[in-house]
Homo-oligomer: A and B are copies of this chain.
Amino acid sequence: MSGTDRPVLAVLCGEQRPPDMEPIESVASVRYADAGELPSALRGADALFVYDFLSKAVPGAWHAADRLRWLHIASAGVDPVMFPELRDSDVVLTNSRGVFDAAIAEYVLGLVIAFAKDFAGSLRLQQQRTWRHRETERVAGTSALVVGTGPIGRAIARLLRAVGMRVAGAGRSARQADPDFGDVVASDDLARHLPGFDVVVAVAPLTEHTRGMFDAGAFAAMREGARFVNVGRGELVVTADLVSALREGRLSGAALDVFEQEPLPPESPLWTMENVLVSAHMSGDVVGWRNALVELFADNFARWCDGRPLRNVVDKHLGYVPSSR
């Protein structure tokens, strides 16, 4: 901002405005806007807070961003704002890395145990008032490949290790002796490594390189009866190929919190497949998450006003915040 002018902050939100904004409103002119109002809110704005992180409205309103210098998104994945004009601009992009890590890790661990102990089967039997003893599986001693070695993947790896699973990661470049993953294999070489694991967890950022990485070839490479967990982005998966792999019994189960199309359309076959667990893009959204998102933004906003370095600056060519490791 220039001199003593109050900075102008546009906030893209739906009906639900972000909480805890008073401290920011006291030092900035804040314009709350929905998708339709975004162009006029962006005109003359210095910064944009994409609170409605699922909105796809930013590219279409970009023409009005005549003095924008900073865009912060209330999510870990930045794929909704990775369009060429932003990528090639000088606008700094930051994300909400860190807010969701531990919660998503618990969610994934719970899903892994739920499959091993067939909680879904127990619930269906309960609905039929049917008592049927079944043998269950141990979790300790089984193995998981966590595809995505950012902080969420790391938190997942730590928690799966804590219950005795053998864990490896898949990331941009292969390496060994990683503190959380032990071995990291190269994502480019995924199919060669997939056969070695009982569970495959997708938590990679959505980029040009990762879009559709879980396709027929990947599912064919997985161990017979493997399970697949997606807490990353739906577009990492070729859904039709996943459905085939599940129908053919190659995979024994899939737990999906994210989908190519959200909300998942009523006609999707995934809803009714017994070996699929569907949830509504919520794995990281624990009570208080909205406050945590605004708290992170407010900290970055104070840094931005003071000219201090921002947290979570996204490498716009990679499509995520590069790891400091």
Q: Which residues of A approach B to under 8 Å, CB–CB?
A: 102-103, 106-107, 109-111, 113-114, 116-117, 119-120, 122-123, 125-126, 129, 131-140, 159, 162-163, 262-264, 266, 271-272, 276-283, 285-287, 289
Identify which of B102, B162, B281 contacts A138 (C-beta below 8 A).
B102
Q: How far is the CA of A125 from the CA of B123 in the complex (A)?
A: 13
Q: A54: shortest Cβ distance to chain B, in Å?
A: 10
Q: Is A137 a contact of B263 with CB atoms below 8 Å?
A: no
Q: How far is the CA of A126 from the CA of B122 in the complex (A)?
A: 15
Give this chain's copy count: 2
A-B contact pairs, 28 of them (CB 8 A): A102-B140, A103-B138, A106-B113, A106-B116, A106-B138, A106-B139, A106-B163, A107-B113, A109-B109, A109-B163, A110-B110, A110-B114, A110-B116, A114-B114, A119-B119, A120-B123, A122-B277, A122-B278, A122-B280, A126-B277, A126-B279, A129-B266, A133-B282, A134-B280, A134-B282, A135-B282, A135-B286, A163-B163
Given A135-B282, A135-B285, A282-B135, CB of A106 within 8 Å of CB of B140: yes
Q: Is A286 a contact of B133 with CB atoms below 8 Å?
A: no
Q: Is B131 a contact of A280 with CB atoms below 8 Å?
A: yes
Q: How far is the CA of A123 from the CA of B256 in the complex (A)?
A: 12
Q: Is B135 a contact of A287 with CB atoms below 8 Å?
A: yes
Identify which of B131, B136, B271, B281 contacts A129 (C-beta below 8 A).
B271
Q: Is A114 a contact of B125 with CB atoms below 8 Å?
A: no
* Complex interface: chain B residues within 8 A of A287 (CB): 135-138
Q: Is A280 a contact of B106 with CB atoms below 8 Å?
A: no
Q: Is A136 a contact of B282 with CB atoms below 8 Å?
A: yes
* Complex interface: chain B residues within 8 A of A280 (CB): 122, 125, 131-134
Q: How far is the CA of A176 from the CA of B271 in the complex (A)?
A: 49
Q: How far is the CA of A111 from the CA of B117 in the complex (A)?
A: 10
Q: Which 9 A-B pairs have the closest CB atoms?
A: A110-B113, A131-B263, A162-B162, A122-B279, A133-B280, A126-B278, A129-B271, A129-B266, A135-B287
